[in-house]
A and B are shown apart, each in its own frame.
Chain A
Amino acid sequence: GENVEQHPSTLSVQEGDSAVIKCTYSDSASNYFPWYKQELGKGPQLIIDIRSNVGEKKDQRIAVTLNKTAKHFSLHITETQPEDSAVYFCAASGVQGAQKLVFGQGTRLTINP
């Protein structure tokens, strides 16, 4: 089955700087790659997703890139703000879509003012 590895486990950046979180996956059949943000005491919330037919997607300060050949994808947050502090999870799923999502271990992002 699918295995998703996520790095780093913790990340601390200065406010205004950029943050990058990377994930690798094992199943070449995976075609859907969402990113979820989890704040303390809350459930995960989708922030951006990408499908295998595109290499990059942007939404304001957030972007995701996908390299299917290398089987890795990354989350980029620019101009970081204190409210970006949270735990971020990548995930991957195959032909059955979101129903077979496998999550990474998470990255705790801290934005220092």
Chain B
Amino acid sequence: EAGVVQSPRYKIIEKKQPVAFWCNPISGHNTLYWYLQNLGQGPELLIRYENEEAVDDSQLPKDRFSAERLKGVDSTLKIQPAELGDSAVYLCASSLAAGAAGELFFGEGSRLTVL
């Protein structure tokens, strides 16, 4: 069974440019997460989806970040415009059930470098 798939793996852009990351979760996983991982730090939650509904986006900087999960399957995270401080790894994860403590399955991440 395929794991969580993310693309692109690496992206280098100039500041003020837009960028988008794509995530396809494990089939059947209704819960999808986007995490931010700065160098040498643990992942920090940006947004969580239950199916197509964003149920926790309190940590998402809404002035420049947006996300969507239109059909409740794959998801896109966008940054516009990007700033130098956005350089990080953006991790997508999925899990089987909502409301229960259980395993998160992470993708390999998308590493963003903003010049």
Q: Which residues of A contact B (CB under 8 A)?
A: 4, 6, 31-32, 34, 41-46, 49, 51, 89, 91, 93, 96-101, 103-106
Query: In whole angstroms, what is the CA distance A43 to B90 when docked?
Result: 10
Stretch of B14-22, B70-78, B95-103 lying at the A interface: B95-103
Taking a contact as CB atoms closer than 8 A, the residue among B42, B99, B103 that contacts A105 in the complex is B42
Tell me whether B67 is interfacial, beta carbon within 8 Å.
no
Contact: A93 with B101, CB < 8 Å?
Answer: yes
Query: In whole angstroms, what is the CA distance A90 to B113 when docked?
Result: 27
Q: Which residues of A contact B41 (CB under 8 A)?
A: 105-106
Count A/B pairs, Cβ under 8 Å.
Answer: 63
Contact: B100 with A98, CB < 8 Å?
Answer: yes
Query: In whole angstroms, what is the CA distance A91 to B106 when docked?
Result: 15
If over half of B's interface residues share one DSSP class (helix, strand or loop), that class is named, otherwise mixed; here it is loop
Q: Which chain A residue lies CB-closest to B45?
A: A101
- CB contact under 8 A between A103 and B106, given known A43-B91, A98-B95, A98-B100: no
Q: Which residues of A contact B42 (CB under 8 A)?
A: 4, 6, 89, 91, 103-106
Q: Which residues of A contact B107 (CB under 8 A)?
A: 43
Contact: B108 with A98, CB < 8 Å?
Answer: no
Query: In whole angstroms, what is the CA distance A49 to B45 when docked?
Result: 19
Q: Which residues of A contact B100 (CB under 8 A)?
A: 97-98
Q: Which residues of B contact A (CB under 8 A)?
A: 4, 31, 33, 40-45, 48, 55-56, 91, 93, 95, 98-104, 106-109
Q: Which residues of B contact A99 (CB under 8 A)?
A: 31, 33, 48, 55-56, 95, 98-99
Q: Which chain B residue lies CB-closest to A94?
A: B101
Q: Which chain A residue lies CB-closest to B31?
A: A99
Contact: A89 with B43, CB < 8 Å?
Answer: yes
Contact: A43 with B93, CB < 8 Å?
Answer: yes
Query: In whole angstroms, what is the CA distance A34 to B101 when docked?
Result: 9
Taking a contact as CB atoms closer than 8 A, the residue among B40, B91, B103 that contacts A98 in the complex is B103
Greatest chain B CB density within 10 A among A43, A44, A49 is at A43
